[in-house]
Amino acid sequence: MAGFIILCSLGINCSSDAPQIRTFYISIVDGHLESETSNLEVNQRDHVNIIVNSDQDVLFHLHGYDIETFVKAGEPSKLSFLAKGTGSFPFSVHVYELGLSPISGLNHEQANEDDHHSGKSHVFQGDLKTSEGERELGRLEVSPN
């Protein structure tokens, strides 16, 4: 009990609404979410990790936060961010044509080799050409504290 009091007096948040690390695993098959729920629920100020795996190359996009990541088929990709804004934010995918990459017109092998040497991550911004339109998969629900 004394440790709890000391931590609270040092300014460490001891309430149950303290920011948490929230990790979600998303699996996409044939461009569709393979999950029982499509809503990811977090609280404002939580640190959010979304790990995305897909059976085909896709661009995963979290609207509102404007975060995107390229997911190569069979290779999980991770989004990591602080949930600052509250509300309901859709997440969607764009499916890519076989062999094409959103990285400067390179094929996947070239893009991955360049990224490996430069330390770049597969996070992109801007419009990219895809073989299909954008498909909404679910929503990130961020509740205020």
Q: For 58-80, what is each residue's pLDDT tens digit?
A: 999 999 999 999 999 999 999 99
Instruction: Mark out the alpha helices in the chain (DSSP H runs).
Output: 2-9, 108-118
Find out whether 72 and 112 touch, Cβ atoms under 8 Å.
Answer: yes
Q: What is the pLDDT of residues 2-47, one digit of tens each?
A: 444 443 434 444 445 799 999 999 999 998 999 878 999 999 999 9
Residue boundaries of the structural domains of the chain: 19-143
Q: What is the pTM of this model?
A: 0.68
Please give the CATH architecture assigned to the domain spanning 19-143: Sandwich (2.60)
3-state secondary structure of 119: coil
Find out whether 108 and 99 touch, Cβ atoms under 8 Å.
Answer: yes
Q: Is 66 exposed, middle or buried (0-12, 13-18, 19+ CB in 10 A)?
A: exposed
pLDDT band at 111 (very low <50, low <70, confident <90, very high): very low
Instruction: Report the mean per-residue pLDDT for the chain.
Output: 76
